[in-house]
Structure 1
Amino acid sequence: MALRSDKNTGGEKTPTFQRLGAVRRTQLITTYGVGAMIALGDQSYLVSGLDGWRVGRDPDIHEFRLQTRLGMRKGFYLPPAADPPAGDGVRIRRFPDMYTCPGKDARPDTGCDENLRRYGAFNPKPGSTACASCDEPLTPSRFIVACERGHLDDFPYEAWVHGRPLRANERSGHRLSYRSTGRTAALRSIVVGCSCGEEASMEGAFGRGSLASVNFRCFGKRPWLPRGSDEECGLTPRTMQRGSSAAWFPVVRSALSIPPFSEELYEELLVPGRYDQWKGEDDGLIRRLAEKAGLVPGRFEADDVVEAVRHYEAYEAGERPDPSVLTGFEPSDVLREEEYRQLDRESDTQHFQTKRPHELPDAPAPPGIAGTMLVTRLREVRALQTFTRVDPPMEGDSEDRLAALSRDDVGWLPAVEVVGEGVFLRLSADRIAEWTAPAPGLTAGPEERAASIRRHHQELLNQRAHRSKRQSPSSQVDARLLLVHTLAHALINEWSLDAGYPASALRERLYVSEDMAGVLIYTASSDSAGSLGGLVSQGEPRRLRRSLASALRRISWCSADPLCMESEASGVDSLNLAACHACMLVPETSCELNNDFLDRAMLIGTPDKTTQGFFEEFMSAL
């Protein structure tokens, strides 16, 4: 996928574009999506909104459940390809706008004393990023500001130097300069000065209330959208480095293609314009239209076509559980409930094939595992719904935290589809109930340990709700979630060794609620790592017992023990217990919950026996 930028600096009415670089289509969903910054060479750019993307008339990807859930009337489109005729790339815009010129240090005779200005003030030649005065390459500002509502702006150097924003009639006599004393690597060695004689170092600029101290408020800037897209805000923004990971957190929604929607007939009904014309019609007309379209006779039965249309209508009308109603906690939402039911039965459709492993008398399922399903084929659609800044997205976030991908309602989202394989494990509900029940002699049972993480999580939810002036949701962290999530991480780390996949090519998909306790570990990658094969075989009885036993032995000891196991809190915002990089954490691309809500004591228990592990019976038999 090509990235293109307007190379004109003048006032031409018809802009021309130059190709500046390329990224993969999947990166336009997960890494360099709308509103994200991308470094190309020594320059920095911002990926533009969907308003400027050139896509075809008809959607490229169909996933009815996800489309209904997200309310996308047009569906999903692949990000534009790199070269015509498939597409002409995605527009990017220069950001930040503030630049520095090293000319004063490189060539003292150039007169570049006021070397901190907006990019256009250096008068670079068309197609060049060099200062017109000294011909030295310009450098984008290291610092930017962003607020929790997704707005983005240049760092307010003028207000920082003077201790307050300057009024419009005061600005003409103030020219800024930027220098580093070189004494230390700390921020206090970076000094911003003004021609009026005022100067200030950058020390303290990253504090949460630092910009409030100079009375600077967010102006609601949305530079990734067309001009005129700014909105009211007024929050106090946060200072961050230009390349900070906190500058862009994608909110990616996904769904598996499951029966009946994964059947070939249902795919045929979503041919552009077909279902929209057929829905609501009587059975006879649908049969005639199906014959005219060549679906019957021969390929499908007329009654099956009518039934499929009615099935789509019922789902769309909400007679089935409405997938647009979210619980705020994705592992328990209605899309997951539908997938959980399908993953527990055998299927053979175009995009979804599952089968049960052969039962072996000498290799029974490990205690606590109620069911195993080999998923020999799956299709997942991932769509970029929105993004956040400053803080990562979390269940219960208010809508004003979710940034817009376009100024106008375009009715579609960028998405990619990936195929792969996996293994689904369903935990025994009876064993979970027995395990979580209070037991004599255990002073810190599973629910008591989970309560510690739930308390920290609730405090974090309360803090965010207070800043947004809204009611805080209740934390849904419990022992069941910690158990399923920690088991997923243990198996990902183990299977990455046994199956030959890098851990980053494996993903977890959690199913956790009062009625669900399961995990799908799968590979769904668009590159070569997604087609190695071999993951499904890990669900065969002997391999599963062997790999689970090995995973439990591996996490029973951590190189950071006893500190890791005895820790009262670990991880970002204290959302983990016995879990660290040496034992439980996996690549960010593999985890749904940002490596939070983990505790290996849930699987193996604590050394002092105050907490029982879910698989202690299995481990004792090894």
Structure 2
Amino acid sequence: MTPSPRRRRRPASDLGTAAPPRRTHPVKGAVRRAQLITTYGVGALIAVDNESFIVSGLDDADRSWSRTEAKKIVEPRLTSLLGIAYFRLPPASGDSSEDGVRVKRFPWWQSCSKCELLGPYKDFGSPAGKSVCPTCSDNPLTPSRFVMACEQGHIEDFPYWKWLHRKGRGQGVSSGRCGGTMRLRSTGSTTSLRAVVLSCSCGVPDVSMEGAFRQRDLADLGITCSGRRPWLDGAPAEHCTKPPRTLQRGSSSVWQPVLRSALSIPPWSRDDPLAGAVREHQDALRGYDDPAHIAIHLRGALKGVDVDLERVMALLHDGSLDQDVPVEDRYHRILRDEYDSLSAGNADDVQQQDHDEDFVCVPPSTGAELLTPFGLRAPMLVKRLREVRALTSFTRVVDPQAVGPTYHAPLSLHRRDWLPALEVRGEGLFLRLDENRLLQWERNVTIRTRIDELRTNHTAHLREYHTGDGEPRVSPASPRYVLLHTLAHILISEWSLEAGYPSSALRERLYCDEDMAGLLVYTATSDSAGSLGGLVAQGEPTRLAASLDSALRRASWCSTDPLCVESRATGVGGANHVACHACVMLAETSCEINNLLLDRAMLIGTPEDPGLGFFTGTLDPTV
């Protein structure tokens, strides 16, 4: 993160009567709101110039997050799923902002590049608010390059003293103290960790950092996780039996967000009092047998607001509100409702829609006969959509897609009735596969055997990280899922070239089960790239057919072939087949399952068996 540039404060006479913002803490830098959900959320590390900080939890957010700068966001289906009352937008950051997101200095250990001294920050005696070495003419201190974390989300400073004085080396080992001064230097002889050398004035032989990143190296030295959670104020250390791991301070494994999102669709698409009242009074309303009594109850609660009884009944029968249903099943219901709304559209209501409408989904103006050879049904143009993405927790070391809630680190010490979230608006294109052709393609025994391999590998990966009660997460791998997922990836790559969008600004949303076979590619971003109209233009059948043809031709070869096309069981846990970064993999921000369950062979087959591909025969081989 780059801090905001310093600006000359104008004299009070130039500011008129405007009062300066009330701040009780110094400003260290600024990040975009979206980054506080996806990159620098609670528990993440942020580099500001020569300093490093960890983002504090939400326990103090009610005081530090200004209500005017961290507004409330409502998305009833998602709040019901997560069991909270509402969401809050992370506070804005600017010259007029009040106190915002709080951070703490971390890692605590620092080093000086001149005198090579290594130790806790307090031992340097830096002036208040600075991170410099006073004995070296205020040379900036360098935060530790290494931290120690475990799969349960705990994090702490790397144990330099124990690493150097390991296995009884040096004096004072039994007491844990030697009285010496530690130093950290780079020999420059190589770029590996062998060139990073630790030393101590107590006379213990020097040791390099080589081997510190091995999975069991710290545990083999008797170094255990202390269970510390420095992002939570006053949090006691937890008992932890997980082996600690050494990580680079800037590694993505230090912090990975656990996100949940939902599109605003009818009848929940508007932030209106009626939808909120139905959610708030749902238990009481479901106790009435007579719809008239439901209307009377709501009129009393809303005090004069008109009650659309038909809409109320539709909201009450929304399965996403049933708290007795498992979370994953309720989230699947959210996806099912979105799929139905995207398939049906709301073209009949276009004349009644205004610029504040959350959901505008219409069919193209021309027929879709050109798409029939591709096995696609008529597309739907999502000219306007709203998505709410909420940060629910985070993980360290392990992939959040592969682990259960046991590994999810909390955002606050005490449970709160809200979570930080981002409200984004954009556009999209919704595609569905022809069900008859899809069913016929899925009957191919070779295809099913090939996908069974992926499912077995992915299931083993999920089981490896599963702890706690209940069964591990179920792998979504199926022939149609891998097909939809790979198709979404090649279309995102194609449209990033044709429509001028950066691929990181496009996202996928997959709808797949026995009754669903669709994908949404959309541009829900917090900047102008989400509303340029270029993606919707790609949905006109003539242009879409050309894009599909071009994307499939690109997917038919890879610059790493034949290595790529002959590969099996690649990727994390062997959950990919024919897929690499030169052909179908995307930035992680665009993919909903971290580039897993991909296989180009599901699109165009393999040289040995072209019949594996769903689109085999679609392309003209003479072109």
1:10 is aligned to none
Offset at residue 370 of structure 1 (A)? 2.9
Question: Is the Cα contact below 8 Å between 2:370 and 2:545 reproduced in 1?
Answer: yes
Residue number among 363, 375, 386 corresponding to 1:379 in the alignment: 386
Q: d(CA) in 1 for partners of 2:487 and 2:282?
A: 46
1:11 is aligned to none
Question: Is the Cα contact below 8 Å between 2:275 and 2:315 reproduced in 1?
Answer: no
Structure 1 416/570 Cα, relative in aligned 2: closer, same or farther at 3 Å? same
1:145 is aligned to 148
1:202 is aligned to 209
2:569 is aligned to 569
Superposed, which structure 2 residues align to 1:250-265 within 5 Å? 250-263=257-270
Please identify, of 567-576 and 406-415, the stretch whose mean Cα deviation from structure 2 is larger.
Answer: 567-576
The answer to whether the aligner puts 1:269 opposite 2:280 as a matched pair is no
SS of the residue corresponding to residue 144 of structure 1 reads strand
Compute the RMSD of aligned alpha carbons.
3.0
Please identify, of 186-195 and 80-89, the stretch whose mean Cα deviation from structure 2 is larger.
Answer: 80-89
Offset at residue 536 of structure 1 (A)? 1.2
Residue number among 184, 193, 205 corresponding to 1:187 in the alignment: 193
Q: d(CA) in 1 for partners of 2:611 and 2:162?
A: 55
Superposed, which structure 2 residues align to 1:483-562 within 5 Å? 483-562=483-562
Superposed, which structure 2 residues align to 1:216-255 within 5 Å? 216-255=223-262
Tell me, which stretches of 5 or more residues in structure 1 are unaligned? 5-14, 106-114, 296-301, 440-444
Structure 1 315/478 Cα, relative in aligned 2: closer, same or farther at 3 Å? closer
Structure 1 139/581 Cα, relative in aligned 2: closer, same or farther at 3 Å? same
Offset at residue 584 of structure 1 (A)? 1.0
The answer to whether the aligner puts 1:20 opposite 2:28 as a matched pair is yes
Question: Is the Cα contact below 8 Å between 1:436 and 1:447 reproduced in 2?
Answer: yes
Structure 1 454/140 Cα, relative in aligned 2: closer, same or farther at 3 Å? same
Q: d(CA) in 2 for partners of 1:503 and 1:323?
A: 36
Deviations 1:202-245 (A, max 9, x none): 11100000101210111111111102342211311110111111
Superposed, which structure 2 residues align to 1:45-84 within 5 Å? 45-53=53-61, 54-55=64-65, 60-72=72-84, 74-83=85-94
Offset at residue 310 of structure 1 (A)? 5.0
1:415 is aligned to 421
1:344 is aligned to 343
2:466 is aligned to 465
Identical-pair percentage:
47
Offset at residue 169 of structure 1 (A)? 4.2
Residue identity matched to 1:477: A
1:353 is aligned to 360
Deviations 1:158-203 (A, max 9, x none): 2111226988944263432222222222212222223332232111
Deviations 1:547-595 (A, max 9, x none): 1111111111222112211112333433222222222122221111111
1:177 is aligned to 183
The answer to whether the aligner puts 1:104 opposite 2:107 as a matched pair is no
The answer to whether the aligner puts 1:287 opposite 2:293 as a matched pair is no
Q: d(CA) in 2 for partners of 1:2 and 1:421?
A: 30
Offset at residue 156 of structure 1 (A)? 0.8
Residue identity matched to 1:77: R
Residue identity matched to 2:108: D
Structure 1 492/242 Cα, relative in aligned 2: closer, same or farther at 3 Å? same
Offset at residue 394 of structure 1 (A)? 1.9
The answer to whether the aligner puts 1:33 opposite 2:41 as a matched pair is yes
1:334 is aligned to 333
Question: Is the Cα contact below 8 Å between 1:2 and 1:90 reproduced in 2?
Answer: no
Offset at residue 31 of structure 1 (A)? 0.7
Q: d(CA) in 2 for partners of 1:313 and 1:608?
A: 54
The answer to whether the aligner puts 1:599 opposite 2:599 as a matched pair is yes
Offset at residue 257 of structure 1 (A)? 0.4
Q: d(CA) in 2 for partners of 1:326 and 1:278?
A: 21
How many residues of Structure 1 are paired with residues of Structure 2 in the alignment?
580
Tell me the TM-score normalised to structure 2 length.
Answer: 0.86
Tell me, which stretches of 5 or more residues in structure 2 are unaligned? 5-22, 286-292
1:213 is aligned to 220
Deviations 1:265-320 (A, max 9, x none): x623367x897479847433533665x55x4xxxxxx341x44455545548945x
Question: Is the Cα contact below 8 Å between 2:43 and 2:55 reproduced in 1?
Answer: yes
The answer to whether the aligner puts 1:435 opposite 2:436 as a matched pair is no
Offset at residue 144 of structure 1 (A)? 0.5
Structure 1 228/591 Cα, relative in aligned 2: closer, same or farther at 3 Å? closer
